[in-house]
Structures are given as C-alpha cells and as structure tokens.
Amino acid sequence: MNSKRVLSIQSHVVHGYVGNKSATFPLQILGFEVDCINSVQFSNHTGYKIFKGQILNDNDLEDLYDALEKNDLIQKYSHLLTGYIGSVTFLKKIIEIIKKMKSKNPNLLYVCDPVMGDNGKMYVPKDLLPIYRDEVIPLADIVTPNQYEMELLCDKKILNIKDVWEHVNWFHERNVNTVVLSSADFGNFDEILSFLSSKSNNIKSTIKISKQGNGISFTGTGDLFAALYLAYSFENPNIIDAFEKTINTLQVVIQKTLESMPNEVKSGKRNIQPQDKELKIIQCKREIECPKGSIKAETLMK
C-alpha cells in the first residue's frame, strides 16, 4: 500500500481556493498522492455575486467509486478526507463508501471536516445535520469542525472553554479519536482559540491565535486546516507538533493573503471584493513544506 495517498471528496472551484483546490496542493507538496472527487464544480465559491457549475449526484459518485474498486485501487489509500457535501443522498453514499473502504483497509484514516456552516449560518440543507451526527461522525478517526459546526453537532452553544471540552467529549464518546476545533471565538477582539484533543494519547491542548485583518472572513481556511492537520499529523508521534505546524502555517497563508491585497483596498479607497481575499496558498509553498512560527500550544493534560 502507498503509505501516503488521499481520496479527497469535497467541492471544487475553477477560480480560487476552497475545497479540493485548497487542500490538494498542500497535501501534494507534503508528499501525498491526492485523488479528488469533486462534490460540486463551480466557477468560483458562492461568495461571489455570480457562480455557476455542476453538482455531482450519488449515482455519479457510485460510478467513480465502483471503477476505483474494480481496478483494485481502494486499498491503496492511507486516508479518506471529506469536506463540503450538498445533499442527503450524496452524504448517504459517502457513508457506504467509508464502510467499504474501511472493510478493505482497516488502517484507513478517515478525516471528516463536517462542512455545514460558519458564523451562525448553515449553508447546507438542514437534513444533513442528523446524518452527520448519527452516522458520519461515529465513523471518523479525526474531525475538524469550526465552532458553529461543533455547536450544531452537539446541539448546544459554546460559551467558554469549559463548554469546548464538554463538546469534545461528545465526539470521543462516539469513538472519534482526535478532535481538532479549528477556531473558537469568545468575543475577544484580539484573539481566537483552537483546541486539540486526542483520546488515544490522553492529550488536550489549546492555542491562542492573534486575529489578523480586523475581522476579515476568509473562505477556504477550514479546508486548508483539515488538509494541513492530516499531513502534519500522519506518522508523527508528536500530535502537539502537528497542531502547532497547522496553526502557524495557516497564519502565514492569511498574512500573505492580506499583504497581497490591492493598495486601494488596504488604503480603504474601495471595499474588499471576494477575489481580493482568495488564499495565497501557492505563494506559501516554502512555508507549507518547512513550517516555522512562534505560536505554541499549551498542553492541558497528559
């Protein structure tokens, strides 16, 4: 088996960086073969004034998987990564695929980024939530929700750090080994927090992250976060190191994206447009390969 090969099922855009476009390049330069199935193919992400494209249905997904299986390719994957899924039937088909892949390869690691919404707003059908909660999450080895997605899954608001650890335990009780909360905001103007919990290592850790860009919201950071953590944590016995590398690299990408914005945006002469905020992932190749940074995790328990 190729020890570093990912089957990534999530969205794709022709222009910009979300979904598979956000995840593939970092995984590749960190040594992973990446095979992509695009749940949707859009011209650009949906934050633009216009987007057009195609949506893959469950029968299309079944055809693709069936050919991979009949060509004896399924057992070659070290990881399955899922991100944006837009329909109930597609998500149900993914559940079938996860079970088939794990039966063929018990060592397969399933990384679930439960992409459902952010900033208090769902952008997938509400019918997907109970399927994620009851059927998908118990199959995952690693989950990387944001704060809103964690609240949706656990059906409870997160108001403080104590709430975070209670929510994390909800995942562990469903046999998820590693929970990485990509970001949590408790109203501090200057910083957000990220959390890591590993059941097998009995480790809980947190990182304080300085806010950049005066509250600018970037699209594709969650997809990049999941890919980076997958890569940095694989065959790395030090999961705290993987956590720190993920956060530091993501912060560099955001910083470089801010620096690359047009001067008229920086000076306030015109409002920020979606194209101004597209992540500068390619320009951060060196930093992704050799992550550095001063952001350190605080380990709470061993």
Sequence ranges of the domains in the chain: 5-301
pLDDT at 267: 85
Q: What's phi and psi for 262, nearest 5 deg?
A: -55, 150
pLDDT at 300: 78
Burial 142-162 (b: 16+ CB within 10 A, else e): bbbbbbbbbbbbbeeebeeee
Catalytic-labelled residue, pool 134, 223, 241, 276: 223
Superfamily name with CATH number, domain 5-301 = Ribokinase (3.40.1190.20)
Distance CA 188, CA 169 (A): 25
pLDDT at 301: 60
Is the four-CA dihedral 188, 194, 198, 204 of positive or negative sign?
Answer: negative
Burial 104-123 (b: 16+ CB within 10 A, else e): ebeebbbbbbbbbbbeeeee
pLDDT at 1: 44
163 is catalytic: no
pLDDT at 171: 97
Distance CA 78, CA 7 (A): 8
Each residue's pLDDT expressed in tens, for the chain with a length of 302 residues: 448 999 999 999 999 999 999 999 999 999 999 999 999 999 999 999 999 999 999 999 999 999 999 999 999 999 999 999 999 999 999 999 999 999 999 999 999 999 999 888 899 999 999 999 999 999 999 999 999 999 999 999 999 999 999 999 999 999 999 999 999 998 877 889 999 999 998 999 999 998 888 778 899 999 999 999 999 999 999 999 999 999 999 999 999 999 999 999 988 889 999 999 999 999 999 999 999 888 999 987 65
Residue keyed to tokens 């679930």:
112
C-alpha distances (whole Å) from 42 to each of 47, 88, 194, 223 are: 12, 19, 30, 16
